[in-house]
Structure 1
Amino acid sequence: MLDEIADLLERSQFLLSLGKVDQGKKTCLEAVKKLNDLSKKDSDIPRNVIKEVSQYALKVYDSNMTTNDKIIWLNSKVNKETIYPVLRFGGLSSTDQLFSKEHEEEELLLPINAKYEKINDSTWSLNHTDLINLYQDKLSNCSFVSSFLSLVHSGNESKLFDIITPHGPSEYYNVSLRFNGAVRKVTIDNKLPILGDKSRSITIRSSSDQNLFWPALIEKAYLKVMGQGYSFEGSNMASDTYTLTGWIPEIIYIKDGRMPNTNYELCKKYGHLTSLGIGTGKISKQLSEKTGFISNHDYVLLKGMENEDLTIINPWLENEDCRKIIHNNRNELFQFNYLYVNWDMDSIFKYKTTINFIYNGQGLDTKPQFTISNPTDEPQDMWVFLERFISKNDAAVISMDLYESGFKVISPDQYNSLSVGKVTNSHFDLLRITMEPNSSKTLLVNCSITTSMSLTLFNNVSSELGLTRAKAKYGKVVKFDDEWDFTNGGGENTYSTYLKNPQFDIEVTDSTDVFITLESNQVSTFHMFYWNEQDKNKSMREFKSGDLLIDPPYLSGTQSCHLNHLEPGFYRIICSCRDPETRDKFKLSVYHCEGEIKISKVINPLGLFMERITFDWNNMNRNKIPFSLKTYQNKLSFHIQHSSNNFTKAEKVVTYRPNMRASIFSLDTSQPVKVNEEWNNSIYGIFFDCQINNPGNFVLLVERFEPGVGTVEINFGCNNRLYI
C-alpha cells in the first residue's frame, strides 16, 4: 500500500504546483486516509516508517508551496513522461523497495533489428574488473559510457550502484537521476533491447561478464529522460556525469592543441575532481584513420592533469583495435576541443543555496538578475552553477554575465563588466568568482528561450548567504515607445533633416540622480538640452551646443547616460540615428530616484494646422506665396529650407546653401506685417513666427541673397486654418 500512498503524495504536490489547490489537497487527503487504514492493520511495514510518511503527508497538506518547490514539481513533465522528484522521509526515500510498484511504460524507440527481452539471468556485483571492461558498441552514447567508466576508474562504482533499486531480480527498477533541479525517480521495467546478432550490443555491456546488466538498466533510465530512446544522438560527458551523480559539470575549451593549465591550478588548489574526460571535434575520415581518433567522440581521461602525457581510454569497442589505452602528448591535442570536468562541491564548499526561476527575459531589464555579496572582511571564493531544465524546445544557448555593483543592470555600459560569459548550448554553466571583502556583484542570466532554470551559489561563509533578486538603484522609471519613420528619420545633427527627429520634453520636479537609456537595434544616440518652459512643445530650431547637457557618441544597440543630481527644470531630448534613412522602433527610458519626471512628445511643433509648399528658384532670387486667414488671433510659424537635390536625400553641413530671408505683407493694405532684414543659411533652414490678429489676405515673400537654382520647401503652421 505504501506505493499507492507515495503515488498520491507525488500527484498531490504536482497538482499544487499547477495551482490546483483543491484537487491537490483532496489527493493528499486520500493518502492520509490510506495511512490511517495502514496504521490500524498488522503489517510488515515498520511503524516508524508509517509515522515518517504520515508526518510528511501532513506537511504537504498544510504548507504553502514555495516558488522554488513549485518550479521543481512543475518541471516533472519530461518528454511525455511524468518523472517526479524523489520523496524523502527521514532515512527513507520513494525509491526504496517498500515503495516499489508496477509501472506500465511505453518502451523506448528501438532500431529495426532489435527487440526487447526480459533480463532473467543478471549479475548484481561490483566486481572492479567487470566494470572497467564496460564498453559502447552500436549505440552512439560515448558520453554516457565514458562517464560510467570514469566513475569506476576513480573508485565511485558504489555510488553508481546505489542509484538503482532493488539490487536483484525484479519486474521494475527505480533509478535516481539528477535533472531539472532535483534528484528524480525514473521507473523502468526489466526489459532490455537485444540485437539479432548476439555478438553485438545496443546497450552498455562488460566484455568480461555478459550478464552484468545493472549498468544497462541505468542507461535505459537515462535514455528515457533524454527522450530519444535507443536512437540517441549523444550528449557530453560532463553533463552525463552530473545526471548520474549530481557532481557539478564544467566544459573547458581546448585551444591550440594544449591542455589548459588553469584547470590544473584549480585541481591543485581544490583537489576534488571526481571525473575527467576529453572530447574531439569534427574530424575528417582521412585524418581519423591517420590519427586513430574518432570524430565528435568522448574519451575517458585517466591521467594528464599535471605536466605529463595524457592517458586516454576509448569507450567504444567494435573490435579489439578500437578499445585501447592511448598515450598522447598534452601539448599535441589538435583533434580535441573539450575537456570535461566534474567537481564534488561538498568537498570544496560548506554551504550552498539554490533559487529556481522561470526565464522569460526579452530586454536587459527583464532578464533574471541576482545580487551576490561578501559581507566578510576577507576575500571569498564563490562558485555559481546554472542549470537549464530539459524542455520540449531543447535547442537553446545560455550564459552568465557578472557586473560590479550589486544593483540591477539596466544597460550593458551602466556598470563595470567583470565577466561576459561564453555562450554554450549545454544545459549547464559554471562561473567562479573571487569576491573582495565587503563587496557585492550582479549576476545576469541569459537564455535564448523561455524555460525553467536553477541557480546555485556555493560558498564557505554561511548558510544564510544566498542569492537575492537584484534591486534597481532607481526606484522610478518613465518610458516612451516611438519609432523613426519616413516623416521623422532625420539622421545625425550634421544633416539638414536632424530637427525632424523625435523630440521629447522632460520636466523634472526635484533634484535627483537620473539614468537615461535609448534602446534600439540601430546606430543611434540621444542629445539632451537645457530648455525653457515657455518653449514647451515647440520645435528646436538650431543645435545650440551651449545648451547641450548630454552628447553621447553614436553606438549600436542600447545607448545610456548617467546624471548625478539633475536639477528641477525643463529639458529637451532628441533621439536620432546616424543614418537619416533609418526606419525602426526605439524605446526612451528615464530612471530616477526622487520626485516626479514627466515625458511628453513634441507634436505638430509649428502649429495645430499645417500646410506645405515647394518651389524652384529657376535663377530667380525672390518668390511670393499668397495665403489667407479667416479667423482672429492667428499665431503662425514658418520653416523654410533649401535643397540642391530636390529633397531626394538629406544634405550635409558642407553642402552649399544660399543665404535666405522671409517677410510677410498684407495684400489688402499693401502694408508690411513683419519684415526680416537678416540673412541666414543655417543647415536646418530658417524659422520665424508671426502674430496676425485679423483675418485677411497676405503674402509670404521669400528671398535669397543672389539668383540661383535649387528647391525650397516651406512648412506653414498655425493655430487656426490657413489657405494657400
Structure 2
Amino acid sequence: MSKQAWKDKLSLAQETTNRATRQELARDYSSAYETYVRAGDLYLWLVKNREPTSEATELRERLRRVLGRAEAIKLAGRAAQIVERRLLSDEEQTRALEASSSIDGIPLPLWKSTDDISTLAYQGQLFVDSVPQPALAPGQVQQKATFRRRHSWLKQRDSVPRWASSPLYDYRTPLRGHHIVQDVVTDCSFVAALEVACEHDATWHTQLAHAPLYPKDSRGFPRWSENGKHCVKLLFNGIPRQIVIDDSIPCRPDGNPVCATGLGADGSYHIWPALLEKAYLRLRGGYDFQGSNSSIDLHALTGWIPEHIGFQHAGFQREKAWDRLRWAWTRGYIMVTAGTTRNMASRRAPGQAFLVDSHNYAVLAIDEEEGERWLTLMNPWRRSPSEEDASTWTGEMRASLENFQTNSPSYLDREIIRITWSEACSRLDSLYLNWNPAIAKHALTVHSHWRKVDGSDLGQNPEQAPITTTTKPTTMTTTAIVGPSQHSSFRLAINVDESDVSGAEKTDVWLHLVRHTTQSREDEVQWIAIHVFESEAVKHRLLAHGSDYRMGTYVDSTHNIVRFSTSAHRRSVYTVIVSRNGCNNDATFSLSAFSAAKIELHDIPRSFSFSQLVQSGWSGKSAGGNAASWAFIHNPQFRLTVPQATSLAAMVETSKDLPVQVLIVWSRRGKRISHVSEGDIVASSGLYNYGFAFAEAKKIQAGVYSVIVSTFEEGLSGLFALKVESEGEIVLEAIAAEGAGMFHKTLRGRWEKDVSAMGGPSHGRYHCNPRFIVDVDKACRLVVRLRPEVKKGIATPYLNIALFRVNKTPRSASSISPAASPPDIGAEVANSGSYADLLSGVAIEDARLEPGTYSLIASTFTPGVECPFVIDLYSSLPTTCRRAH
C-alpha cells in the first residue's frame, strides 16, 4: 500500500473515532458501540500495515481506547446489537488472509512482487532453513534416504551425483510430460499435475510447470541458488504464498534422488521437479502424502481453475462432456488428469489396459482418429518397480504394483495407455480439468470469514421442537442451525457489455470457492457448497441450467466450483451463499468469480430488523416429499402472519444429504395447505437443493401465509432449522398436523364398476357408492380425508366425501323409488366441497357433531371409475366406525 493510502486510512480511523464520541455524547449508545468497533478495526489494520519507520505505540494506544469505550458500553447493557462487520472491507479481507497465513505452524507469507523476489539474497552465506524438512515417506526410509544438500556433494569433488552437477533446468532440452519420474513417493496427483503442465509447455510454448520456482536466470528459467535458498510461489489458501526451502532433497546413500525428477530426451537431468515437490509436500504433511485431486495440486502450481467431472455422477452427459473437452483441448485452454477408484480389476474386460486402483494419471492427448475418440493416459510411476521397491508400498498401492507387474510383461510398453472415450466413461472414476483463467476477460477474488455459530443442537423430538423468536436487529452471522453449518452471503452482478460477449445469447459465469486450511491433515471432514439464487422481485429459482453438476452440492474438499449461464443482453443479479458444514469454529475462505462479462461481488449486510427461528424436522408421517406426492400435505408447515407490507427472506438448513425446498404460499385462513398452485406461490427456493434452501420476497403484502418445508422424496427423515427475517414485525407459528391430538381411524375401500362406482348425485345412484357408519356418543369434532390410491401415471379421479345424519325412523320402504337415497340417510351435515382431482385427496376439515349416527359416502364424479381409496378419520373423542351393508 502507498504511503498516501495509509495516511487516508489513518484519517478515516480518526474521523470514525470522533463520530463514535459524538454518538455516545448524544446517548445513541447502539450506534456508538458499532462505530467504536469499526474504528478499532481500522486502527488494528493500521498497526499491522504500518511503515517500518512509523511509531506504533500511539496507534496501539488509540486502539486500546476505542475498544475500551466499546467494551464499557457493552458491559453497561447499552448496546442493542452486535456490530455487523462488512465482510469485504479491506480490514476484514486482510484479517481473513492473516488467519490462514500458516499451516502446521509453518509461515505462509503472501507472495511479494516478482521484482522483490528477484532481489532476495540468493548469494552470500549458506542459507539454513529454520523450518524442519518434510517428513520422509516409509518407502524413502526403507531405502535409507536422507536429505542431502547440493553444496555438500560438490565439496566432495569425487563421486558427485549427476543431479548435483547438472543445471537445475536445461532449457535446451525441456521436459515433456512423459519425462518426469514419480519414484516411491505416493504423490501421484502432484506428479501427474507436473506432467500435464510440462506437456502443455511443450505443446503451446508456455512456461507453467517451472514458473513457481525462484531464482531464475536471464532467460526466465530456474537456476541454482548460490547460497542454497529457493522460493516457490504456490497459490494456497486463496492467494499466492511464498514457501522458502533449501536445496536439499531426499537421496539414497549413493546420492541418487528418491523423489520426483526429470530425464530429458537427450539424457539431460532435471532436478527442479524435486524442489517444487518438496515445497508443495511441506504444505501437505510431508512425503507420506497419499495424493489428492490432481486439479487442486495443479491449481496451486499454475492458478488454473480446477473442475471435477465425475463419470458416475447422475448429471454426467458423455457427448456434451466430450464436445466440451475436445473444443478446449484443441485451443490449449485446459490441462487434464484422470482418476481411478478401487477394484479396477473388476472393471477390466479382456484385452483392456491395466489401470491402478485409486490412482491419478496424466492425460497427454485427447484426439479423434477414423471416427473413434481417444484419451492418452500416462502412469506417473514411469519405471518398473523392483522387489525391493514394491515392498515399500502398502495396502492398495502395493497390491496394484504387484498386479501391474503380473499383468504387464513390459512395463515401458504399458506406461502410456490409449483408451477410447467409451472405455474411459465406464472404467475411470473422474476427470480433473484445469482451465486457463485468461479465457475469462473479467475476474475477481474476495477473502472472507465463516463465523462460529452460537447455540445448541436441536431438540431430539422434531415434533416438539421449540419456536424461538428474536425481535431485535439481526447480524451477518447466521443463527444456530443443524449440523452445524455456517454461511456468508454475497450479491453477484453481471454487467454485460456487447464488446465482451460478441453477440452471444448466453455468457458463462464461474464461481470458485476455496476453504482455507491451517492443518496439512485435518481430523474432521468438512463440507463446502456454493448456493446461487437468481435475484428477482418475487420468486427465486436455484440455477441449474448450463452446468454439468447440481449447484449447491456439498463436497468434502477444499475447493468447489459452480458454473452457470446468464443472459448476454441484460444486467443480471444473483444471491450467492457459501456454506460450510462439519465443524463449528471460525474459518476463512476465498471466493473467485470469472466471466466474459464485467462482474461485481459485494457482501450483503443484513438489512432485516426482525427474525424468527423455528427448529423442527421430518419423521414418519411428516416426511411428505415434494408437491407431486399425495403426502405433501403432511410436511412441516408454519403460519406466517404479516401485519403490514414488508420484505422478507426464508432460509432452511438441514443435513447436506437431504434435498430441501421452502415455499411461501398465500393462505386464505392460515390453515394447512394440501396442495400448491403456481398462482399462490409468493416466494420459492426453486429446485430442491442439498442441505440448504433460500427464498426471498420483496414487499410482501399484509396477510396470512403458509411456509412449507419439504424434502424431495417421501419418507426422508432429519432435522432442519427455518429462519425467517423481515423488515417489519412478523409472527411465525407451527401449524398443527392434520388431526393432531385426535383419535385416528383408517378406513379402506374400493370403487368397482357397476357395483359401487356410481358417480355423483346427478347420476341417480349416489347412495350406492361406498358408505361407512360413524357412531358418536358425545358431541365432538370430526376431520375426514379421502384420498385415492392410484398407480403412477394413472390420472387421479375427481372425488368428494360427504357426511349425512342417519334417520332414526326410516321412511316406509314402499314410498322409496329405486333412484332415491336409502331410508336411513337424512340431511347432509358436511362435505369436502366441489369434486377435485388432487393427489392429497379431499377433506371435511372440521365438522362439529352432536351425539348420533352418521353416514360417510365416498364418491367419484364420474360413474364406473375403478380405484381403491383410503379414508383417514380423526375425532376429538372416541367413535366407532363400520362399513355399511
Partner amino acid for 1:322? Y
Aligned-residue offset at 1:180: 0.8
Aligned-residue offset at 1:187: 1.9
Aligned-residue offset at 1:573: 4.9
The 1:525/1:27 distance shift into structure 2, 3 A limit, reads closer
**Would you tell me which structure has more strand in proportion to its own residues?**
1
- The question of whether the paired residues in 1 share the 8 Å contact of 2:511 and 2:591 is answered with yes
- The question of whether the paired residues in 2 share the 8 Å contact of 1:257 and 1:333 is answered with no
2:146 counterpart of 1:116: yes
- The question of whether the paired residues in 1 share the 8 Å contact of 2:533 and 2:542 is answered with no
Equivalent residue for 1:506? 641
Task: Give 1:74-89 correspondences, 5 Å limit.
Answer: 74-88=99-113
Aligned-residue offset at 1:179: 0.9
1:467 paired residue among 593, 601, 610: 601
Equivalent residue for 1:190? 247
TM-score by length of 2: 0.52
Partner amino acid for 2:594? F
Equivalent residue for 1:693? none
Equivalent residue for 1:265? 327
Equivalent residue for 1:249? 306
The 1:681/1:261 distance shift into structure 2, 3 A limit, reads closer
Task: Give 1:507-522 correspondences, 5 Å limit.
Answer: 507-510=642-645
Equivalent residue for 2:591? 455
Aligned-residue offset at 1:222: 0.7
After superposition, give the CA deviation of every residue in 1:241-287 in whole Å (9 maximum; x if it has no partner).
2212223333334579887221222345xx24363433334353574
Task: Give 1:105-254 correspondences, 5 Å limit.
Answer: 105-110=131-136, 111=138, 112-113=141-142, 114-119=144-149, 120-121=153-154, 122=164, 123-127=166-170, 129=173, 131-132=175-176, 133-153=179-199, 154-155=201-202, 156=206, 160=210, 163-165=213-215, 167-195=224-252, 201-204=258-261, 206=263, 212-227=270-285, 229-254=286-311
Distance 1:336 1:485 in 2: 37
2:284 counterpart of 1:284: no
3-state DSSP of counterpart to 1:160: coil
- The question of whether the paired residues in 1 share the 8 Å contact of 2:635 and 2:708 is answered with no
Percent of pairs with identical residues: 17
The 1:236/1:190 distance shift into structure 2, 3 A limit, reads same
Report the RMSD for the aligned CA atoms in angstroms: 5.8
- The question of whether the paired residues in 1 share the 8 Å contact of 2:616 and 2:719 is answered with yes
Distance 2:518 2:486 in 1: 25
The 1:622/1:28 distance shift into structure 2, 3 A limit, reads closer
2:47 paired residue among 19, 25, 33: 25
Equivalent residue for 1:372? 493
- The question of whether the paired residues in 2 share the 8 Å contact of 1:404 and 1:418 is answered with no
2:852 paired residue among 690, 696, 704: 704
**Would you tell me which structure has more helix in proportion to its own residues?**
2
Aligned-residue offset at 1:654: 9.6
Distance 2:224 2:673 in 1: 85
Equivalent residue for 2:517? 390
Equivalent residue for 1:633? none
Aligned-residue offset at 1:460: 4.8
2:416 paired residue among 320, 326, 338: 326
Q: How many residues end up aligned between the 2 structures?
A: 584
2:558 counterpart of 1:427: yes
Aligned-residue offset at 1:220: 0.9
- The question of whether the paired residues in 1 share the 8 Å contact of 2:263 and 2:270 is answered with yes
2:365 counterpart of 1:275: no
Aligned-residue offset at 1:139: 0.9
Aligned-residue offset at 1:138: 0.7
1:440 paired residue among 550, 556, 572: 572
- The question of whether the paired residues in 1 share the 8 Å contact of 2:308 and 2:433 is answered with yes
- The question of whether the paired residues in 1 share the 8 Å contact of 2:444 and 2:593 is answered with yes
Aligned-residue offset at 1:356: 1.4
2:364 counterpart of 1:302: yes
Aligned-residue offset at 1:98: 7.7
After superposition, give the CA deviation of every residue in 1:23-78 in whole Å (9 maximum; x if it has no partner).
983895767699xxxxxxxxxxxxxxxxxxxxxxxxxxxxx943323222221121
Aligned-residue offset at 1:234: 0.6
Q: Which structure has the bigger radius of gyration?
A: 1
Equivalent residue for 1:598? 730
Equivalent residue for 2:429? 337
- The question of whether the paired residues in 1 share the 8 Å contact of 2:802 and 2:828 is answered with no
Distance 2:249 2:652 in 1: 59
Aligned-residue offset at 1:221: 0.9
Distance 1:576 1:232 in 2: 43
- The question of whether the paired residues in 1 share the 8 Å contact of 2:169 and 2:271 is answered with no
Q: Gapped runs of 5+ residues in structure 1?
A: 1-15, 35-63, 532-538, 605-610, 625-637, 644-652, 662-676, 689-701, 716-724
Q: Gapped runs of 5+ residues in structure 2?
A: 1-37, 57-88, 155-163, 216-222, 386-409, 452-477, 502-506, 745-772, 785-798, 808-825, 832-843, 856-872, 879-885
Aligned-residue offset at 1:164: 2.9
3-state DSSP of counterpart to 1:368: strand
- The question of whether the paired residues in 1 share the 8 Å contact of 2:249 and 2:257 is answered with no
Partner amino acid for 1:260? W
Aligned-residue offset at 1:223: 0.4
Aligned-residue offset at 1:427: 3.4
Aligned-residue offset at 1:233: 0.1
Aligned-residue offset at 1:134: 2.7
TM-score by length of 1: 0.62
Aligned-residue offset at 1:415: 7.6
Partner amino acid for 1:264? R
3-state DSSP of counterpart to 1:260: helix
After superposition, give the CA deviation of every residue in 1:78-110 in whole Å (9 maximum; x if it has no partner).
133221112338655686638996432223222
1:314 paired residue among 379, 382, 390: 379
Distance 2:431 2:518 in 1: 26
Partner amino acid for 2:592? T
2:446 paired residue among 350, 355, 380: 355
- The question of whether the paired residues in 2 share the 8 Å contact of 1:371 and 1:470 is answered with no
Distance 1:78 1:139 in 2: 21
The 1:96/1:243 distance shift into structure 2, 3 A limit, reads farther
Partner amino acid for 1:469? D
- The question of whether the paired residues in 2 share the 8 Å contact of 1:86 and 1:94 is answered with no
2:704 counterpart of 1:571: yes
- The question of whether the paired residues in 1 share the 8 Å contact of 2:540 and 2:695 is answered with no
1:71 paired residue among 88, 91, 96: 96
After superposition, give the CA deviation of every residue in 1:273-316 in whole Å (9 maximum; x if it has no partner).
36343333435357499623323333333332455644443321
